[in-house]
């Protein structure tokens, strides 16, 4: 109620009352707008969060939906091969890869075999497989030192296509595939390869690159990625032309860390071991000898975690080398193909699911040799 004072036939507000009214009118004016609570961040301590309507005293309703967890794919499909070149054989193997329709291909080194023709090699690959196809490379000895090409040029025209790649692409890298809910960690390294300065990269025991590789394998296990696949150019075990260029200690590291599958090139043939592991009967795998204690599974259906399978797939297109079934390491091998026995160019075709890794050698047109194996969970 407003108090009025009559004076001389007119009316006016009493002074005290006038002051009260002014205060009230000021309080009724609109102030600066208060922004609504953000849905992007929690309310600040001085802001009251809205409570869903419901019975008095009831707790706020729980969210009706939760963020969806990454869904693992049913399978990952990839191919692998090295020692390719620019000839008819290379084109036939690329045609074979194209017909298999993999999601990616691991290229295990030795590409153009001639300096200055790297872009021609890249054009051949993209012409057969597509410009955006993940043709994932690691250097071989023919392009590492620049004499028969340069890995930097190959990387420039066949760049990485896998998200989340760690390391130096073309030299030493790993990537989980697919990036979310991965089924496979691909680890590509370069032991036994000579570079521009005339030195080979150091993968000796305890070296930085040794530790990097060990951590990449351990990291896959800690993330519970089902499969680890290591790719590199140089093999250790072989019934072909070369000795253990990858290094004895580094090869034993891959076995100790239980890499599931190790893929190599360099020897221009196909060779695939039984599953190999270390234990009481095999304190270390020693090149150029055979120890039955290192064989953990010798049939074509193997168990994950029991050992490592080594496969040389130097059948990407260039001329083949011979194989020697009298080699002291021959009992480690389940299958081989070379110039003098079941000769075949082709690719390894691999499918990985959460429970099984299945592989088969697929020959290029005109060849008949095949091989297949699988590794499954218990």
Q: What is the DSSP letter of 46?
A: T
Which residues sit opposite 272 in a β-bridge?
Answer: 311, 335
Q: How confident is the model at residue 330 (pLDDT cuts 50, 70, 90)?
A: very high
Please calculate the CA angle 76-108-190 and round it to the nearest 5 degrees. 115
Instruction: Give yes or no for residue 305 having a pLDDT over 50.
Output: yes
Q: Decide if 353 is inside a domain.
A: yes
Name the one residue in this structure whose structure tokens are 């290379």. Answer: 90
Tens of pLDDT, residues 254-298: 999 999 999 999 999 999 999 999 998 999 999 999 999 999 999
Distance CA 164, CA 186 (A): 12
Q: What is the pLDDT of residue 323?
A: 98
Distance (Å, rounded) from C-alpha 286 to C-alpha 329? Answer: 9
Q: CA-CA distance, 333 to 310, in Å (whole number)?
A: 9
Q: HSE-up of 258 (CA within 13 Å, CB side)?
A: 14
Q: Look up residue 47 and give its DSSP letter.
A: S
> What's residue 198's pLDDT?
86
Q: How many domains does the chain have?
A: 1
Q: What is the mean pLDDT of residues 235-250?
A: 97
- 146 in a domain, yes or no? yes
Question: How many CB atoms lie under 10 A from the CB of residue 157?
Answer: 14
Asked whether residue 112 is domain-assigned, the answer is: yes
Establish if 19 belongs to a structural domain: no
Say yes or no to pLDDT of 95 above 50: yes
User: Are the C-beta atoms of 288 and 352 separated by less than 8 Å?
Assistant: no
- 168-192: pLDDT as tens digits: 999 999 999 999 999 999 999 999 9
Residue 315 · residue 347 · CB < 8 Å: yes
**One-letter-per-residue 3-state SS of 244-292:** CCCCHHHHHHHHHCCCCEEEECCCCCEEEECEECCECCECCCCCCCCCH
Instruction: Give yes or no for residue 235 having a pLDDT over 50.
Output: yes
Q: Strand 261-264 relative to strand 309-313: parallel, antiparallel, unpaired?
A: parallel
Query: Where residue 128 falls among pLDDT bands split at 50, 70, 90?
Result: very high
Q: Is residue 275 part of a domain?
A: yes
Is the confidence at residue 372, as pLDDT, over 60? yes
pLDDT surpassing 90 at residue 163: yes
pLDDT tens readout for residues 307-324: 999 999 999 999 999 999
pLDDT of residue 111: 98
Residue 29 lies in a domain: no
CA-based torsion, 282, 288, 290, 295: positive or negative? positive
Band of the pLDDT at 131, cuts 50, 70, 90? Answer: very high
- Only one residue has tokens 């690691």, namely 138
**Are 226 and 184 a contacting pair, CB within 8 Å?**
yes
* Rounded CA Rg of the chain: 33
| Residue 129 reports pLDDT greater than 70 | yes
**Tens of pLDDT, residues 338-368:** 999 999 999 999 999 999 999 999 999 999 9
Gap between the Cα atoms of 230 and 221, Å rounded = 14
Q: What is the pLDDT of residue 197?
A: 84
Predicted confidence at residue 65, as pLDDT, reads 55
**313 within domain boundaries:** yes
pLDDT at residue 73, rounded to an integer: 76
**Which tokens belong to 42?**
């929690």
The answer for residues whose C-beta is within 8 angstroms of residue 118's C-beta and 6 or more apart is 111, 112, 143, 149, 150, 153, 154, 157
pLDDT at 43 over 70: no
CATH of the domain at 334: 3.60.21.10
237 lies in a domain? yes
Q: What is the mean pLDDT of residues 35-64?
A: 38
Task: Show the domain range for 363.
Answer: 76-376
| Strands (E) located in the chain | 4-7, 10-13, 76-81, 104-107, 135-137, 166-168, 172-177, 184-188, 227-231, 261-264, 270-273, 275-276, 295-297, 301-303, 309-313, 333-337, 346-352, 356-363, 371-376
Question: Which residue in this structure is represented by tokens 């095949």?
Answer: 370
40 band by pLDDT with thresholds 50, 70 and 90: very low
**Helix and strand element counts for the chain (H, E):** 7, 19
Q: How far apart are CA 294 and CA 153, in angstroms?
A: 41
Whole-Å CA distances, 189 to 61, 310, 346: 52, 15, 22
Q: Provide mean pLDDT across the span 3-26.
A: 40
Instruction: Tell me which residue has tokens 């691999």.
Output: 350
């Amino acid at each position: 109620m407003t108090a009025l004072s009559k004076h001389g036939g007119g009316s006016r507000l009493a002074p005290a009352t006038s002051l009260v009214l002014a205060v009230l009118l000021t309080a009724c004016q609109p102030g600066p707008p208060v922004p609504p609570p953000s849905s992007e961040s929690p309310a600040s301590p001085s802001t009251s969060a809205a409570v869903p309507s419901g019975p008095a005293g009831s707790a706020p309703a729980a969210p009706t939906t939760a963020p969806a967890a990454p869904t693992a794919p049913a399978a990952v499909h990839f191919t692998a091969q090295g020692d390719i070149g620019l000839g008819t054989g290379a084109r036939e193997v690329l045609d074979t890869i194209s017909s298999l329709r993999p999601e990616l291909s691991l290229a295990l080194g030795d590409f153009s075999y001639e300096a200055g023709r790297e872009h021609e090699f890249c054009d051949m690959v993209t012409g057969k497989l597509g410009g955006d196809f993940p043709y994932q490379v690691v250097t071989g000895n023919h392009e590492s030192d620049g004499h028969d090409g340069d890995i930097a040029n190959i990387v420039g025209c066949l760049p990485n296509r896998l998200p989340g790649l760690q390391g130096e692409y073309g030299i030493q890298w790993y990537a989980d595939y697919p990036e979310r809910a991965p089924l496979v960690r691909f680890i590509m390294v370069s032991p036994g390869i000579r570079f521009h300065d005339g030195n080979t990269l150091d993968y000796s025991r305890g070296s930085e690159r040794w530790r990097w590789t060990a951590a990449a394998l351990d990291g896959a296990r800690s993330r519970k990625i089902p499969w680890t696949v290591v790719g590199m150019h140089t093999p250790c075990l072989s019934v072909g032309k070369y000795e253990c260029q990858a290094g004895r200690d580094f090869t034993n590291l891959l076995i100790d860390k239980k890499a599931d599958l190790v893929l190599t090139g360099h020897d221009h043939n196909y060779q695939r071991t039984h599953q190999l592991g270390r234990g009481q009967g095999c304190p270390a795998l020693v090149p150029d000898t055979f120890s039955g204690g290192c064989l953990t599974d010798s049939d074509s259906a193997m168990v994950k975690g029991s050992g490592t399978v080594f496969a040389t797939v130097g059948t990407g297109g260039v001329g083949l080398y011979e194989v020697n079934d009298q080699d002291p390491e021959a009992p480690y091998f389940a299958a081989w193909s070379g110039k003098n026995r079941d000769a075949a160019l082709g690719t390894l075709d691999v499918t990985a699911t959460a429970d099984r890794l299945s592989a088969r050698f697929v020959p290029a047109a005109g060849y008949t040799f095949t091989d297949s194996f699988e590794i499954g969970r218990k």
